[in-house]
Structure 1
Amino acid sequence: MLNLERLRTLDALARHGSVSGAADGLHVTTSAVSQQMAKLEKEVGQPLVARSGRGIRLTDAGRLLADHAARIISQVELAQADVEAQRGRAVGELRIGAFPTALRGLFPSALVELRAVHPELRVRTWEMEPDASLGAVVRGDLDLAVGIDWYNKRMAVPGELLRADLLDDAADVAVPADHPLAGRAEVDLADFGDADWISWNEGQFCYEWLVFTLRGEGIEPRIRHIAEEHQTQLAFVAAGLGVCVTPRLGRGPVPAGVRLLPVRASVRRHIYVVWRADADRRPSIRAAVDALRESGARYAAA
C-alpha cells in the first residue's frame, strides 16, 4: 500500500518543481525529500524522478502518480471533514503545534474552554518552531499550527493553508539594570549598535528576523549567546551578558536586574493559526480556532 506521507512529498515536488522547493514547502530538509522519494520509487517499482540539467523532472510515471496523490490527499481531508461534520460536533483527536510563548500564553485557557464545551474532543499539543509546525500541517502530521509574522518580515505560508488572525504582540528590548539606557522611557533598535546580543538559534525564523532588522538599522549584530527559551535569554541579560528582544506574550516573570524598554517604533509580531483548506469543514477545527481567538482577545484586553 502506498504511504500517504510519501505521496505528500511527491505532491510537493510536483507543485514546487524542485527538491529544494518541495523541502521549503514541507519545511523539511532536501535529504528528507530525497529519502522519501527513494522509498516511494521502491514501493511502485519504477523511477518517478529523473535528472534534468542541474535539477530534476518527474517521469511519466511520476506525473501520473502525482496527479493521483493530489486527489488522494484532498479526499483524505474531505473524508475526515465529512465524517466529523456529519456528527455535527467536535469529536475525535485534534493535533496542534505552537511555538513556546504561544503555547504558554494562549493554550492553557483555550484548552480548558475546549474541554468544557467539547468533551468528546481530544486535543494533543506539541511545542515546536513555527516553520516546522506549518510544514507538519502541510504533510498532515498536525491539524493546526500557530505561526508568526514580524512587523517587517512575514513567514511564507503555503497556499493550501487557510489562516485566522489571533492577536498582535508587542516586544521590548531587555537590558541589564545597570545598562546606560536602562532609565529610558523608550529606545530605538539603532541605540544598540555596540551591544552584545542574546538570540534564538541560527536558522530559526526569529533569529533571521533579528539579524534582518538590525542590519536594516545599519547594525551588524554581535550575537554572543544562543538560547531557545525567553526565560534563559532574560537570565543572561540579568547576568549582564547582553541584551535581547523579548515579546510580551507568554513572557512570564522578569528576573531582578532586568529592565524592559519599549521600542519607539513599535516592534510587534502578528500571531495567527493555520490549517489545511480541505479540513475547513471539520467542527473540531472551527472550535479550536474560535477558542484560540477568544484566548487571544482575552490576552489583548488584559
Structure 2
Amino acid sequence: MLNLERLRTLDALARHGSVSGAADGLHVTTSAVSQQMAKLEREVGQPLLAKNGRGVRLTDAGQLLADHAARILSQVEVAQADVEAQRGCAVGELRIGAFPTGMRGLLPGTLTALSAAHPGLRLLAREQEPAESMAAVVRGDLDLALAIDWHNKRMPVPTELARAHLLDDACDIAVPVGHPLADRARVSLGEFAADEWISWNEGQFCHEWLVHTLRGLGVEPCIRHIAEEHHTQLAFVEAGLGVCVTPRLGRGPVPPGVRLLPVSDTVRRHVYVVWRADADRRPSIRAAVDALREVAAAH
C-alpha cells in the first residue's frame, strides 16, 4: 500500500518543482525528501524522478502518481475537516500568512484571542506578500492567508480558495512638513504629478496599483525610491525625498516631520482572508476567521 507521507512528498515536489522547494514547503531537509522519494520508487517499482540539469523532473510515471497524490491529499483534507467538525473542537496546528501591515495590525489581537479561546490550537504566523501566501494556501503550506486588493485593481483569487472580507482600509498621502500641500485638509492623487514617489518593490501588487492608478489620472509617476516597509517609506518622506501612499492599518507612529493628507479620491485597500474551500468545515478555520472579523471590526 502506498505511504501517505511519501505521496505528500511527491505532491510537494510536483508543486514546488525542486527538491529544495519541496523541503522548504514540508519544513524538512532535502535529504529527508530524497529518502522519501527513494522509498516511494521502491514501492511502485519504477523511477519517479529523472535528472534535469542540476535539478530533477518527474518522469511520466512520477507525474501520473503526483496527479493521483494531489486528489488523495485533497480528499484527506476533506476527511480531516469532517472529523474535526464532528468533534467540534479547534485543535492541532494552524498556519497563517499575512502581508506586513496586516501582520502588525490584525494578527497580534487575533492570535491572542484564539490562544485564550482554544488552548489546544498551535498557531504559527508567517509574514508574506499576498500572492505568495495565497499560493502557499493552495499548495497546503499555509492554512489561512491575509490578502489585499484595491478599489480599482483586484487581485485574482484561485478558484480552490474561499474568502471572507475583513475591512476596507483607507489610505493617506504622506508628505514632508514643508510640502506646498502640507496644510491642506484633503488632496487628490492627481495633484502630485510633479512629485517624486517612494513606492513598494517593483513587481509587488501595491507597486503595480500605484503606477496603474496614477497613469489612469494622466500622471506618469516618477518613482525615485523603493522601500518594502512603510516605516522606511515615511522616514524617506520626512527627509524630503518624496511622497508616498500610506495605509492606516498597522501604521504605527508617524515621524514628526511628516504630514498625512486624506485623499478625496476613493483610495482604499480591501483586506480579506482566504483558505482552502475543501477545509471549510474545520473548526480551527472557522474560529480563526471569526476572530479575525472581530479584531477587524474593532479596528
Does TM, scored on the shorter chain, surpass 0.5? yes
Shift of 1:211: 1.2
- 8 Å CA contact 1:11–1:70 kept in 2: the answer is no
What amino acid maps onto 2:197 in structure 1? Answer: W
Deviation at residue 124 of structure 1 after TM alignment: 0.8
Deviation per residue, 1:169-216 (Å, 9 max, x gap): 000110001101111111111111111111111111111111111111
Which residue of structure 1 aligns with residue 216 of structure 2? 216
Could you say which residue in structure 1 is the equivalent of 2:205?
205
1:98 aligns with 2:98: yes
Q: Which residue of 2 aligns with 1:186?
A: 186
- Matching residue of 1:21: none
Per-residue deviation, residues 11-68 of structure 1 (Å, max 9, x unmatched): 799xxxxxxxxxxxxxx9xxxxxxx9xx9899562589xxxxxxxxx99757743541
For residues 258 and 11 of structure 1, what CA distance do their matches in structure 2 show?
Answer: 45
- Cα deviations by residue, 1:230-250 (Å, 9 ceiling, x for unpaired): 111111101101000000000
Taking the aligned partners of 2:132 and 2:182, their CA distance within structure 1 comes to 36
Counterpart Cα distance in 2 of 1:123 and 1:66 = 29
CA offsets, 1:235-271, max 9 Å, x none?
1101101000000000011110111111111200000
The equivalent of 1:45 in structure 2 is: 47
Percent identity at matched positions?
A: 69
Q: Matches of 1:159 and 1:198 in 2, distance apart?
A: 34
1:92-131 matches, within 5 Å, as 92-131=92-131
Could you list the runs of 5+ residues in structure 2 that have no partner in the other structure? 18-24, 26-32, 51-57
Equivalent residue number for residue 155 of structure 1:
155
Give yes or no for the alignment of 1:145 onto 2:131.
no
Deviates more, 1:170-179 or 1:110-119: 110-119
The Cα of 1:117 is off from its aligned counterpart by 1.0
Higher mean alpha-carbon deviation, 81-90 vs 225-234, is at: 81-90
Q: What TM-score, normalized by structure 1, do the two folds share?
A: 0.81
CA–CA separation in structure 2 for the residues paired with 1:6 and 1:210: 40
Q: Partners in 2 of 1:5 and 1:99 — Cα distance?
A: 27
Q: Which residue of 1 aligns with 2:55?
A: none
1:1-302 equivalence runs, <5 A: 2-4=6-8, 6-7=10-11, 10=14, 45=47, 61=61, 64-65=64-65, 67-299=67-299
Work out the CA distance in 1 between the residues paired with 2:268 and 2:229.
18
Amino acid at match of 2:260: L
8 Å contact kept, 1:8–1:69 = no
Tell me the secondary structure at the aligned position of residue 106 of structure 2: helix
**Structure 1 residues not aligned, in runs of 5+:** 14-27, 29-35, 49-57
- Cα deviation per residue 1:80-129 (whole Å; 9 max; x = unaligned)? 21332233110111000001111111111111211111111111101111
Question: Counterparts of 1:256 and 1:6 in 2: how far apart (Å)?
Answer: 54
CA distance in 2, matches of 1:5, 1:235: 45
1:122-172: CA deviation from partner (whole Å, max 9, x where unpaired): 111011111111011011110000010111111111100000110000001
CA–CA distance in structure 2, aligned partners of residues 6 and 130 of structure 1: 26
- CA spacing shift, 1:46–1:97, aligned 2, 3 Å: closer
Work out the CA distance in 2 between the residues paired with 1:293 and 1:120: 21
CA contact (8 A) 1:78 1:279 kept: yes
